[in-house]
């Protein structure tokens, strides 16, 4: 049984690793059952902000009972800005692990793409650490030369970088990096903004590649009860009896052929 109770996690450390990007390690029971691709819901502690913020899990240390989250501050006075003010020793209410993670077993004996874009880069790190495949090709897209988590990725597979301004790696996006380096794969795992996932969905369909995508969406409850975070699907959802699925409950990871972007 997955633990989904609310608990007060203890912040072990926090640091700024790029412009507006923060890394936080939490001591939490959620670490004991978390898998790559899952997320936790974090509460600000501000009573005027009742809803939690869903934050993807970046790293898992089961032995120490700790999780790492890497998040972007979305603006002054936001929940993420409040998180960024916290320091080691502070406590923060969390629920997790939540959602369905990446199906690691689908990569056995195959060449794999592990693709992240923007703030979809962090959840790819734990995937890279745990995935057992024939060839692990990590392709990550950034805006500029602030290539956060680069050292960690380089220790866990072949790394290819794209930047919008061309300051590091391939100029352009992750698809440009795939083409420039003539990369090939049998299975794709990806997380990032919708335009990137839409391009990968089409690429996978054209090349008959099995593809799993983690969708980013604003959430309310985070446990599938409110239907605030739905995506269109080809088949009817048993819960709502319409053509959609709940990203928080049924995802955030989906087979690319299941969803419409």
Q: Where residue 41 sits, what CATH number does that domain have?
A: 2.40.30.10
Are both 122 and 92 inside the same structural domain? Answer: no
Cα–Cα distance for residue pair 94/10, rounded to 1 Å: 10
Is residue 1 a part of any domain in this protein? Answer: no
CATH of the domain at 235: 2.10.240.10
Say whether both 87 and 111 belong to one domain.
no
Please answer whether residues 42 and 56 qualify as being in contact, where contact means their C-beta atoms are separated by less than 8 angstroms: no
The span from the CA of 94 to the CA of 108, in Å, is 33
Please give the average per-residue pLDDT across 43-65, as a whole number: 86
Shared domain for 144 and 209, answered yes or no, is: yes
Mean pLDDT of 63-69: 97
**Residues 175-208: tens digit of each pLDDT:** 999 999 999 999 999 999 999 999 999 999 999 9
pLDDT tens readout for residues 112-131: 999 999 999 999 999 999 99
Residue 224 has pLDDT above 80, yes or no: no
In a domain, 199, yes or no: yes
Question: What confidence score (pLDDT) does residue 16 get?
Answer: 98
Question: What number is the average pLDDT over the span 9-38?
Answer: 97
Do 17 and 71 lie in one domain? The reply is yes
- Please check whether residues 242 and 198 belong to one and the same domain: no
Tell whether the model's pLDDT for residue 20 goes beyond 50: yes
For the chain, the domain total comes to 3
Same domain, 122 and 222: no
Residues 184, 126: one domain? yes
Which residues form the domain of 259?
A: 217-261
Q: With the CA atoms of 31, 117, 216 and 11 taken in that order, what torsion angle do they form, in degrees rounded to the nearest 10? A: 30
In this prediction the pTM is 0.88
Query: CA 89, 94, 96 angle in degrees (round to 5)?
Result: 130
Unique residue bearing structure tokens 């969708």? 215
In the predicted structure, residue 80 carries a pLDDT above the cut 80: yes
Same domain membership, residue 196 and residue 122: yes
Q: Quote the strand ranges of the chain, DSSP E.
A: 6-18, 21-27, 39-42, 53-56, 59-61, 66-72, 91-98, 111-117, 135-142, 158-163, 170-171, 187-191, 210-214, 230-233, 244-246, 253-255, 259-260
pLDDT cut 70: percent of the chain above it: 83
- Answer whether residue 122 is part of any domain: yes
Using the predicted structure, report yes or no on whether residue 210 has a pLDDT greater than 60. yes
Grade residue 75 by pLDDT with cuts at 50, 70 and 90: confident
What pLDDT sits at residue 65? 97
The arithmetic mean of pLDDT across residues 29-55, rounded, is 87
Is residue 231 domain-resident? yes
- Are the beta carbons of 69 and 13 closer than 8 angstroms? no
Q: What is the CATH number of the domain that holds 177?
A: 3.40.50.80
Average pLDDT, the chain: 88
- Provide the pLDDT for residue 67: 98
Q: Are residues 90 and 51 in the same domain?
A: yes
68 and 37 part of one domain: yes
**93 contacts 26 by C-beta, under 8 angstroms:** no
């Amino acid at each position: 049984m997955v633990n989904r109770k609310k608990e007060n996690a203890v912040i072990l450390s926090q640091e700024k690793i790029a412009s507006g990007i923060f890394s936080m390690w939490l001591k939490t029971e959620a670490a004991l059952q978390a898998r790559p691709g899952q997320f936790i819901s974090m509460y600000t502690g501000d009573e005027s902000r009742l809803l939690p913020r869903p934050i993807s899990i970046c790293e898992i240390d089961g032995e120490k009972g700790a999780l790492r989250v890497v998040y972007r501050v979305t603006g002054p006075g936001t929940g993420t800005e409040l998180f960024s003010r916290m320091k080691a020793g502070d406590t923060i209410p969390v629920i997790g692990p939540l959602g369905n993670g990446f199906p690691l077993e689908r990569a056995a004996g195959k060449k794999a793409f592990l693709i992240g874009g923007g703030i979809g880069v962090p959840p790819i790190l734990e995937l890279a650490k745990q995935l057992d495949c024939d060839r692990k090709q990590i392709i990550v897209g950034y805006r500029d030369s602030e290539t956060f988590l680069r050292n960690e990725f380089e220790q866990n597979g072949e790394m290819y970088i794209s930047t919008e301004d061309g300051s590091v790696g391939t100029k352009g996006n992750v698809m440009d990096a795939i083409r420039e380096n003539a990369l090939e794969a049998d299975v794709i795992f990806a997380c990032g903004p919708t335009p990137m996932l839409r391009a990968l969905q089409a690429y996978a369909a054209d090349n008959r590649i099995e593809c799993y995508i983690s969708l980013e969406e604003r959430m309310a409850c985070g446990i599938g009860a409110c239907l605030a975070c739905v995506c269109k699907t080809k088949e009817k959802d048993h819960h709502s009896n319409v053509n959609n699925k709940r990203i928080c409950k049924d995802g955030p990871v989906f087979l690319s052929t299941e969803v419409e972007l």
